[in-house]
Amino acid sequence: MKDAVRHFAILLLMLTLLAGVSGCGHETNNVDDDVIPPDDDVDDDSLDDDALPPDDDTTPPDETVKTLSWIHSTDGRLMDEYGRQWLLFGINARVTGLFDGSAAWVSRTAVYDQSDAQGMAHDGFNLFRLPINWSALEPVEGQFSADYLQQMEQVIAWARDAGLYVLIDFHQDKYSKFVDIGDDGAPQWAVYPPPDGKIDVSLQFLLAVNAFFNNVDKIQDRFIPAWQTVVARFADQPNVIGFEVMNEPCTVFLLFGRKKLYSFYENAAHALRELDDRHSIWMEPDVYRNQFLWAPLRAEPFPDDNVVYEPHLYPNFIGMMYLTPEEWVAALTETFDHMVAETNSWGAAAVIGEWGTRPSDDYAPAMFQAVQDLSGARNIGLAFWLWKEAPSNSWGLFDYDDATGAWTPRADPGVDALLRPRVMAAPGSLVSTSFDVDTATLTASFEADGGEGPPLLYLPATYYPHGVVVELDGQPAPIEIDADTQRALAPWSGESGSHELIVRPQ
Q: Which amino acid would we find at residue 67?
A: T
Closest CA to 172 of 279, 251, 91, 267: 251
Q: Please return the burial class of 41, using the count of CB atoms within 10 Å of its CB with bins 0-12, 13-18 and 19+.
A: middle
Q: Please return the burial class of 53, using the count of CB atoms within 10 Å of its CB with bins 0-12, 13-18 and 19+.
A: middle
Strand, coil or helix: 441: strand
Closest CA to 40 of 110, 163, 169, 144: 144
Q: Are 123 and 84 in contact (CB under 8 A)?
A: no
Q: Are 461 and 506 in contact (CB under 8 A)?
A: no
pLDDT on residue 393: 74
Q: What are phi and psi of 91, to 5 degrees?
A: -145, 140
Q: Where are the beta strands (DSSP E) in 89-208?
A: 89-92, 127-132, 165-170
Q: Please give the Cα distance from 123 to 87 (Å, whole number).
A: 15
Q: Are 477 and 471 in contact (CB under 8 A)?
A: yes
Question: Which H helix or E strand runs over 121?
Answer: helix 114-122
pLDDT on residue 202: 77
In tens digits, the chain (506 residues) has pLDDT values of: 433 433 433 444 343 333 333 333 333 333 333 333 334 343 343 333 333 444 445 667 789 999 999 999 999 999 999 999 999 999 999 999 999 999 999 999 999 999 999 999 999 999 999 999 999 999 999 999 999 999 999 999 999 999 999 999 999 999 999 988 899 999 999 999 987 765 556 788 999 999 999 999 999 999 999 999 999 999 999 999 999 999 999 999 999 999 999 999 999 999 999 999 999 999 999 999 998 999 999 999 999 999 999 999 999 999 999 999 999 999 999 999 999 999 999 999 999 999 999 999 999 999 999 999 999 999 999 999 999 999 877 899 999 998 999 999 999 999 999 999 999 999 999 999 999 999 999 999 999 999 999 999 999 999 999 999 999 999 999 999 999 999 999 999 999 999 999 999 99
Going 113 to 114 to 116 to 121, the CA torsion angle's sign is: positive
Q: How many CA atoms lie within 13 A of 189 on its CB side?
A: 13
Strand, coil or helix: 421: coil
Q: How many CA atoms lie within 13 A of 30 on its CB side?
A: 3
Helix axes 219-234, 257-273, angle to 10 degrees: 40
Q: What are phi and psi of 48, to 5 degrees?
A: -110, -170
Q: What are phi and psi of 364, to 5 degrees?
A: -60, -50
Closest CA to 315 of 292, 284, 334, 282: 292
Structural domains in the chain plus CATH codes: 2-52+63-419 (3.20.20.80), 423-506 (2.60.40.1180)
pLDDT on residue 447: 98
pLDDT on residue 391: 85
pTM of the model: 0.89
Q: Please give the Cα distance from 318 to 320 (Å, whole number).
A: 6
Going 334 to 338 to 339 to 341, the CA torsion angle's sign is: positive
Q: Please give the Cα distance from 302 to 305 (Å, whole number).
A: 8
Q: Please give the Cα distance from 50 to 414 (Å, whole number).
A: 47
